Amino acid sequence: MQQPSVETGKLRTKKPLDSRFAATLKHIRRDRQLLLLFIPCVLFYVIFRYGPLYGLVIAFKDYSVFQGVMGSEWVGLEHFQKFFSNQDFWMLFRNTFLLGFFTLIFGFPFPIILAVLLNEVRVKWFKKSIQTFSYLPAFLSVVIISSMIIDFLSPTNGLINQFISFLGFEKKYFLVDPNWFRPIYVISEIWATMGYQAIIYLAAIAGINPTLYEAAKVDGANRWHMMRNITVPGLMPTVIVMFILNTGNMFRIGYEKVLLLYNPLTYDVADVFSTYVYRKGLLESSYSYAAAVGMFESVVALVMLLGANQLSKRMGGSGLW
């Protein structure tokens, strides 16, 4: 593999372009083992991440399995027009937006409050146990969580309904009542994510300079003062970053849970872009139409994320990247 030094010497005296080319070759040769190791990674990203992006051309075609992606006929924006003029469009947009928005607005404060409260606990083992318990749901599958929701809300013998009838009210069919879908989704989302999101805030609190607390103590501040004037302000940068991040990801709905909990009676409030894509594309085999809907969803999500980042830069923050 060793090249005679004479040759490299000759190349170096040639024109700059050639020498750059030679340097590249040399670089490749030097890194050949690393490059060989890197092949699976390149293949993975090309096939499973960039391949589907190329596959999106079917959103502008009338895809048929027999003609393939290349052979199918171009139809331009027909699928998009069909989707935008469909009455489903606004329903999906509203549902996706509202589920994301309510989860963000109602869910956001919980992990912060939990972290601040945990930070006030002086007994170590108690703090540790509560924190450990609080993120147990992060280990449960979406199927199990949905199963618990269905069980607890069951009209025949669900705990919630037993309690309701114990109080003398009429039992409720929560999961077939469109008014209840969003609250159920949001509350269970809070239950499932509060604990592990608190980890991030607890770490941020741990990063606050301890001399601040000592100085405050010397000045006679009690724990309430310290919490309000040191812990909470110290958390703010993390809170802002997390808020931007969550806003950017607002359109990424936990569609698996929606898929498990919705039914034809609650489609009007529960159906989101992803579940619609799943039904149209994979159950009804309208590949092109579903791909167009999916593409629209991705573009909206991307715009949201870029917009949130831009906004944070405008407001004097650093942005996320």
Partner 1 sequence: MVGQRKLSIFSILNTIILIGVAIATLYPVWYITVISFSDTVSVLQGKVFLWPKGFNFDAYVQVLKDSKIPRAYLNTIYYTALGTFINLLFTAVAAYPLAQRDFFGRKFWMLGIILTMFLNAGIIPTYMIVQKLGLIDTVWALVLPNAIWTFELIILKSFYENMSSQIREAAKIDGASEYRILFSIVIPLSKPALASIGLFYFMGHWNSFFLPLIYLNDKDMFPLQIILRDMLIFNSESDSALVDRAALAPQAMKNATIVLSMIPVLLIYPFAQKYFAQGVMLGSEKG
Q: Which of 4, 9, 40, 316 binds partner 1 (CB under 8 A)?
A: 40
Whether the Cβ atoms of residue 257 and residue 192 lie closer than 8 Å to each other: no
Q: Which stretch binds partner 1 (CB under 8 A): 71-79, 101-109, 217-225, 311-319?
A: 217-225
157 binds partner 1 (CB under 8 A): yes
Least distance from C-beta 263 to partner 1, angstroms? 4
Residue 73 belongs to what H/E stretch? strand 73-74
Closest to partner 1 by CB, 96 vs 134, is 134
Q: Which of 60, 181, 185, 262 binds partner 1 (CB under 8 A)?
A: 262
301 binds partner 1 (CB under 8 A): yes
Q: Which stretch binds partner 1 (CB under 8 A): 10-18, 55-63, 70-78, 96-104?
A: 55-63
Q: How far apart are the first and last CA of the chain?
A: 42
Residue 6 belongs to what H/E stretch? helix 5-13
Positions in 264-293 near partner 1 (CB under 8 A): 264-265, 274, 277-278, 281-282, 287, 290-291
The CB-based long-range contact list for 97-102 (8 Å cut-off, 24+ gap) reads 97/250, 97/251, 98/182, 99/182, 99/185, 99/186, 99/253, 99/258, 99/272, 100/250, 100/251, 100/252, 100/253, 101/250, 102/182, 102/185, 102/186
Residue 130 belongs to what H/E stretch? helix 124-134
Least distance from C-beta 15 to partner 1, angstroms? 22
80 binds partner 1 (CB under 8 A): no
93 binds partner 1 (CB under 8 A): no
Number of residues that bind partner 1 (CB under 8 A): 99
Report the Cα 227 to chain-centroid distance in Å.
30
Whether the Cβ atoms of residue 315 and residue 237 lie closer than 8 Å to each other: no
141 binds partner 1 (CB under 8 A): yes
Positions in 220-259 near partner 1 (CB under 8 A): 222-224, 242, 245, 256, 259
Least distance from C-beta 126 to partner 1, angstroms? 8
Rounded Cα distance, 199 and 112, in Å: 9
Q: Which stretch binds partner 1 (CB under 8 A): 14-22, 88-96, 261-269, 311-319?
A: 261-269
168 binds partner 1 (CB under 8 A): no
